[in-house]
Amino acid sequence: MQRPCNAKIVATLGPASADRSTIEALVRAGADVFRLNFSHGTHADHQQRLALIRSIEADVGRPIGVLLDLQGPKLRVGTFAGGPVKLVEGAAFRLDLDRDRPGDATRAPLPHPEIFAALEPGAELLLDDGRLRLRVRQAGPGFAETVVVNGGLLSDRKGVNVPGVVLPLSSLTAKDRADLDFGLTLGIDWVALSFVQRAADIAEVQALVQGRAGIVAKLEKPAAIECLEEILAVTDAVMVARGDLGVEMPAEQVPAIQKRIVRACRRLGKPVIVATQMLESMVSAPVPTRAEASDVATAIYDGADAVMLSAESASGRFPVEAVAMMDRIIAQTEADPHYRAAIEASHTQPAANTADAIGWAARSVAGLLDVAAMVAYTSSGSSALRMARERPRAPIVGMTPRRETARRLALAWGVYPVVCADVTDVDDMTERAKAAAVSLQFAAPGQTIVIAAGMPFGTPGSTNLLRIAQID
C-alpha cells in the first residue's frame, strides 16, 4: 500500500485517535508519520499507540514513521488569589519570584529566574499566547517592573513568551529527558525538540540520542530564525512551528519566514515539516475553510516534505476526514501543471560533493530518458535524501536493509521506503531494484529505471555509483 503523493502527512495521535481501527483508518486515508505529543498523555498511552502503529504497519505492508514530540520548557505565571485579574493598558504590573504569594491586579509570581536574568528595560513579555503584552521598565535578578501595553484578563498559569531574548535555558527539561529515554527504548524514529534557540540545543539532544533517531528542530522562536543556518547545519530535519512562531513574531512575518525555512531546507536536502493550524476548523467541522485548503496547498507548491495535523487528528471530531482532506489537497496540488513549474523554478544547485553530484546526475538522467522510477540503495537514508533534494518527476524507491532507516524515510518528499535484504554485488543490486520498481507498480517491462548506491555496499554516506537499467 503506497500513497501516490510526493508530500507526506504527519498526523498527531490523541484521545480522538487512540484505538486501532481509527489509527488504521488514518493510515489508509494517507498518514505517513504519526506524532506522539508528550505534552499530553502518559507513557502507557504512548506505548500502547506505538504498539498499534507497528501492528498496523505489518498489515498494510509499508514502513510508518513515529515522531516523539518533546514538551520543552513551559514558562508560566503563577496563581491569583481571587481568580482572573484585569490588566489595564498603561498600568504598572510587577513580576517576581515570590511563588508563595498569590498574584493580584498589580503583580504576579513568575517562578522562572532565567527570564529575569535575561530581561533588560525595553524588553517585552507576552502572556496567554500573546493576548496580553507587557514592556519592561526595570528588571533585576528576581523581579521586573513592567507597564501594560495590551491589557485583558489574566488567569492562573498562563504561558509567558519573551520574544527577541535568548533565555539561558536548556531545551531539555527533566521531564523531556525521561520522555526521550522512554521513547528511545520503544524504538521511535524521530525526536522533535521544542524551544530551540541555538545550534547547541541540537547538540545536547544528539548526545543523548546517539543516532538512534533523527532530530527534528522545531523552529518556534525568533532566536532560532536568527541563527537558522547554524541550526540547519546540525539538525536532521526541521518543523516550522507556526503557532508559537506567530505568538513571538508579528503574524504578517510568518508566511515569509515559512518560505525562507522551506527554501533553506530544500537547498540542504533536509526534510521540512510545515505545522500548526493547517486545517484547524476541522477540529469541529467536517470540511476546512477555503483559506485553510489554500494554506496547505501553498506549503506543497513550495516543496515542503510534509504537512502536519495537530488537534485536527488528535482531539477533533473528524480525524480521519482531516487526513483524507489533506491527502486530497496534496494530490490536487501536485496534479496542477503549475506545481511542477514552481518546483523547478525554486530548485537550487547542489553542493560540490559526491553524494549531491550523484543525486543531481540521477535527476538529469531521469529527465532526459523519462525514467519510470529512481532507486536509492541506502543504509543511513542519505542516498534517498540526496535524490529527494532534487525533487525529480519520477518516484524515488528508498531501498534499505535497515527497518529503522525505512521508517525515517517515510518523512521524506517523494520517497517510497522499502526494506530489503543486503545486496552482494552490482548485478544483485540491479535485479532487486528492478523487482521493487515493478512490485510497486512504478515500472513495467521495457521501461527504464535509474539506480544510485554506494560502494562498498552497506557503508553509510558512500554514495558514488549511478546505474541505468531496463526492466526485462
Which CATH number fits the domain that encloses residue 113? 2.40.33.10
Choosing from 35, 107, 266, 270, which is the catalytic residue? Answer: 35
Parallel, antiparallel, or unpaired for β 463-470 and 448-454? antiparallel
**What dihedral angle (degrees, nearest 10) is formed by the CA atoms of 306, 307, 311, 312?**
-120
pLDDT digit string (tens) for the chain, length 472 residues: 567 899 999 999 999 999 999 999 999 999 999 999 999 999 999 999 999 999 999 999 999 999 999 999 999 999 999 899 999 999 999 999 999 999 999 999 999 999 999 999 999 999 999 999 999 999 999 999 999 999 999 999 999 999 888 999 999 999 999 999 999 999 999 999 999 999 999 999 999 999 999 999 999 999 999 999 999 999 999 999 998 898 989 999 999 999 999 999 999 999 999 999 999 999 999 999 999 999 999 999 999 999 999 999 999 999 999 999 999 999 999 999 999 999 999 999 888 888 889 999 999 998 899 899 999 999 999 999 999 999 999 999 999 999 999 999 999 999 999 999 988 889 999 999 999 999 999 999 999 999 998 877 767 766 788 999 999 8
Q: Examine residue 348 and state whether it is found in any structural domain, yes or no.
A: no
151 and 176 co-located in one domain: no
Alpha-carbon distance of 395 to 413, in angstroms, equals 10
Choosing from 12, 146, 276, 405, which is the catalytic residue? Answer: 276
Choosing from 218, 221, 270, 386, which is the catalytic residue? Answer: 218
Quote the domain boundaries for residue 390.
354-470
List % helix, strand, coil for the chain (3-state, nearest 5): 40, 25, 35
91 and 205 co-located in one domain: no
Q: Is 354 a catalytic residue?
A: no
Q: Is 263 a catalytic residue?
A: no
186 and 40 co-located in one domain: yes
Alpha-carbon distance of 393 to 374, in angstroms, equals 10
252 and 103 co-located in one domain: no
**3-state secondary structure at position 459:** coil
Cα 99 to chain centroid distance, Å, stands at 35
Domain CATH number, residue 225? 3.20.20.60
For the entire predicted model, the pTM comes to 0.94
Locate 218 and state its grid cell: 522545531
Last residue of a domain, one of 131, 161, 191: 161
257 and 400 co-located in one domain: no
187 and 262 co-located in one domain: yes
In contact, 53 and 66? CB cutoff 8 Å: yes
Choosing from 76, 135, 175, 467, which is the catalytic residue? Answer: 76
Last residue of a domain, one of 334, 366, 386: 334
Beta strands in 14-158 (DSSP E): 33-37, 65-69, 85-87, 92-96, 107-109, 124-127, 132-140, 143-150, 152-154
Q: Is 8 a catalytic residue?
A: no
